[in-house]
Amino acid sequence: MLNGAAGRRFLKRRPASPPPSEPPGGGEALRVVDVTKWYGSVQALDRVSMSVDVGEVVALVGDNGAGKSTLVDVIAGVLAPDSGEFYVRGERVAIRSTDDAALFGIRTVHQEHTLADNLDVVENLFLARELHRGVGPLRRLHFASMQQRTWAALSELGISTISDIRAPVEKMSGGQRQTVTVARATLQNYPIVVLDEPTAGLGVAEVQRVLQLILRLRAQGTAIVIVSQNIEEIFEVADRIVVLHLGKVGAVFRRADTTPEAVVGAVMGIA
């Protein structure tokens, strides 16, 4: 089993620090097995197991309180589960912190607590994953290249309304902030991307951009878990649909073999 420190060593042998995406069509990227999480006397997750393959989009759906965000937080290393096992590319790992998750190639875009208002777009996008230049005591942030990649990421998401990427994000509208949050997922070619409600608060055109982005990441071989309340959206991008109901996996569908009605039924617990 790889824990954080071992993972660090494991990744050091690789050329680039964020591991490159593997080519599409290559096996399982992430599997969680029997994850259980209690909040006091409330069981948020009850032996939840799920997996996502390389180049696959798995949608996580469920009613409010079904445990979607808890599962996302556990995968992201934000919450410690009471029990459960994690496998990244078939190898058992321990995700004890957000840093561990990043080292194993998992990038999570949360729904809440995503941006530091006082920092600008560039700094928020690269927070804790900054690009540097120079060595030793003169090792410093490489603003020019971070800026360049920020423009690239934003233009892919079709953001023409953000004019100053060096201005604090607190001045931005909800949609702009959400887009900045989603753009984080695209920056450093993480092989596993988890998106918690990436389209919440976005306009129609912006939603389409995000869905296109998800499909492009998928084509690159990224394994994607997306949490969404919007069944239509899910049917546009997901390959598989995992329904959580009251903290348990209620059903798993292949998109090709199911209908929105069946998924809604499972969400409500009547199927």
- Site residues (CB under 8 A) for another protein? 76, 78, 98-99, 102, 108, 110, 113-119, 123, 127-130, 132, 139-141, 143-144, 147-148, 151-152, 154-156, 158-161, 163-164, 166-168, 170-174, 176
Closest contact distance (angstroms) between CB of 231 and another protein is 27
**Strand-pair partners of 57:** 224
To which residue do tokens 């394994």 refer? 223
Phi and psi of 153, rounded to 5°?
-65, -40
Largest CA distance in the chain: 62
- Kindly state the smallest distance separating residue 154's Cβ from another protein, in Å: 7
Strand-pair partners of 251:
243
Please identify, using beta-carbon distances, which residue of 13 and 113 lies nearer to another protein: 113
Tell me the DSSP string of 9-59: HHHHTSSSSSPPPPPSS-SEEEEEEEEEEEETTEEEEEEEEEEEETT-EEE
Considering the complex, state which of residue 36 and residue 212 has its C-beta at the smaller distance from another protein. 212
- Report how far residue 35's alpha carbon sits from residue 80's, in angstroms, rounded to the nearest whole number: 10
Residue with Cβ nearer another protein (193 or 234): 193
Minimum Å distance from CB 249 to another protein? 25
The answer to whether 88 touches 29, Cβ cutoff 8 Å, is yes
Instruction: Compare residues 118 and 259 and give the one whose CB is closer to another protein.
Output: 118
- Tokens standing for residue 126: 């690269």
Q: Which is nearer to another protein, 119 or 200 (CB)?
A: 119
Measured in whole angstroms, the distance separating CA 266 from the mean position of its chain's CA atoms is 24
**Least gap, CB of 185 to another protein (angstroms):** 12
C-alpha 267/C-alpha 163 separation (Å) is 41
CB of 41 to another protein, least distance (A): 23
CB nearer to another protein: give 51 or 124.
Answer: 124
H/E run at residue 163: none
CB of 184 to another protein, least distance (A): 8
